Amino acid sequence: MAAKFSGSGGLVVVPLLLLYLCCSSQPPLVSGQESQKDDAMSLLKRASDMIKVKQYNDALGLLNGAIEANPYLSEAYSQHASVLRHLCRFEESEKNYKKFLELKPGMSSVEKELSQLLQAQSALDSAYNHFESGDFSKALDYIDKIVLVFSPGCLRAKILKVKLLLALKDYSSAISETGYILKQDEDNLEALLLRGRCYYYLSDHDVATRHFQKGLRLDPEHSELKKAYFGLKNLLKKTKSAEDNVAKGKLRLAVEDFKAALAMDPGHSAYNVHLHLGLCKVLVKLGRGKDAIKSCTDALEIDGELVEALSQRGEAKLITEDWEGAVEDLKIAAQKSPQDMNIREALLRAEKSLKLSKRKDWYKILGISRTASIAEIRRAYKKLALQWHPDKNVDNREEAEAQFREIAAAYEVLGDEEKRTRYDRGEDVEDMGMGMGGGGFNPFAGGGQQFTFHFEGGFPGGGFPGGGFPGGFEFNF
């Protein structure tokens, strides 16, 4: 069979089969549109499945395909906007929400989500501002209470949160947060850097080093990772140098190394506490008590329970002759560590020094040094006895009598070799019977001039009856 068509060239005969084949090769327009809609819905469904398993990037690709296949598929815009908000891609999300509302105006649930998006965007900006101004707690509130509520997948917010926790020295929480980030992306350089810093500030330097090294293997030129890694390496090197110099007895070099290590990162408290203590111990060995007290105090400000810092500060206070301060520190240290015999021995020394400090200093009364010879002691006694002779101090007789007693008592101890030795050892000599009797007292007997003092009431152990020198005062030489 054939079909007949008339044309300018005359009658054309076309086989019916050929005509059918030609017509059937062009599908109807309506059928094509329906196919595209089916494709869009299929993509939308697949995207929903990806969202359920948190494959957000895959979901975004499918949603883009769905919108391209059917630009009027409002649900695709809604889901697209929601995923973008979740990831805090705020500007793109806002455009999709608005496109949805163009297609379906007045949809309250979508309007609410758009409002939440704008709140999250504003809160993230505020969090950054507070971070820059140093108000870390306020910034953290914005992140936790707004941004991550409305945009829980926001990586920028999560990274900022870790920085805030670091600034607040909540290292354990910061480690947990970076763990969540690295679980999703184990090669996230910023998370590796921040997690390494957390371990660094916890003084777990081995783990910190491993994080820095992993990041540098991924990006050898990453400036912050390089700075962190080599900074830690130099800190450990300087510390080892200080410890080696202590072991070699090069204490002054050790002091400089400890100070250099402390200057590298003053905020590294967990590690610096040991540097402060190490410096304190070296300064005690060098006899630099005042400097040692400061270093041990710096250590105790970081860790008030550090017993060794307390005991070393007590030793430093012994050097500066702060006897009461030394006893106080060493008592606390002994209570915290009752089995430490070194602390107990130091406490006994401090208590003895405190007791000695409260007795009369006979050397000071005679105005001589502790190494004075017997001749120097006699000369000092003669000079002061003449100076404070009561008959020469009529206008201040009571003071003169008191001074004269002190001078005589000082000579009674220091002029006797046995008593002086016991006094220098810290023993009590006041109870040995220091009276010189009622007879004559010859303090400069033997060799050269003789100086004899006569008192009716006895001197000085017997005291002065009536508080003065009732029988007069005879001074012969």
Average the pLDDT over 396-419 and give the result: 91
**Burial status of residue 326 (CB atoms within 10 A of its CB: 0-12, 13-18, 19 or more):** buried
User: Rounded to an integer, what distance in angstroms lies between the CA atom of residue 99 and that of residue 94?
Assistant: 9
User: Rounded to an integer, what distance in angstroms lies between the CA atom of residue 83 and that of residue 55?
Assistant: 10
Give me the pLDDT at residue 34, please. Answer: 61
Q: How confident is the model at residue 463 (pLDDT cuts 50, 70, 90)?
A: very low
Sign of CA dihedral 130, 131, 134, 135: positive
Sign of CA dihedral 349, 354, 357, 359: negative
User: Rounded to an integer, what distance in angstroms lies between the CA atom of residue 63 and that of residue 83?
Assistant: 10
Residues recorded for the chain: 477
Q: How confident is the model at residue 91 (pLDDT cuts 50, 70, 90)?
A: very high
Give me the pLDDT at residue 423, please. Answer: 86
Min mean pLDDT across 10-24, 185-199, 387-401, 411-425 is at 10-24
Instruction: Output the six-digit token pair for 369.
Output: 């040094």
pTM as predicted: 0.70
User: Rounded to an integer, what distance in angstroms lies between the CA atom of residue 330 and that of residue 308?
Assistant: 10
Q: How many Cβ atoms are within 10 Å of 223's Cβ, its own excluded?
A: 8
User: Rounded to an integer, what distance in angstroms lies between the CA atom of residue 298 and that of residue 316?
Assistant: 14
User: Rounded to an integer, what distance in angstroms lies between the CA atom of residue 138 and that of residue 130?
Assistant: 7
Q: Which amino acid is at 363?
A: Y
Kindly tell me if the per-residue pLDDT of 8 is higher than 60.
Answer: no
Average the pLDDT over 420-444 and give the result: 58
Kindly tell me if the per-residue pLDDT of 256 is higher than 70.
Answer: yes
User: Rounded to an integer, what distance in angstroms lies between the CA atom of residue 242 and that of residue 254?
Assistant: 4
Give me the pLDDT at residue 44, please. Answer: 92
Give me the pLDDT at residue 361, please. Answer: 87
Collect all residues with Cβ–Cβ distance below 8 Å to 333 and sequence separation of at least 6: 307, 310, 311, 314, 340, 343, 347
Check: CB of residue 471 under 8 Å from CB of residue 456.
yes
Check: CB of residue 193 under 8 Å from CB of residue 228.
yes
By percentage, how much of the chain surpasses pLDDT 90? Answer: 74
Give me the pLDDT at residue 303, please. Answer: 96
Kindly tell me if the per-residue pLDDT of 126 is higher than 60.
Answer: yes
User: Rounded to an integer, what distance in angstroms lies between the CA atom of residue 231 and that of residue 266?
Assistant: 13
Give me the pLDDT at residue 411, please. Answer: 93
Judge if the upstream peptide bond of residue 460 is cis by omega within 30 degrees of 0. Answer: yes
Give me the pLDDT at residue 425, please. Answer: 81
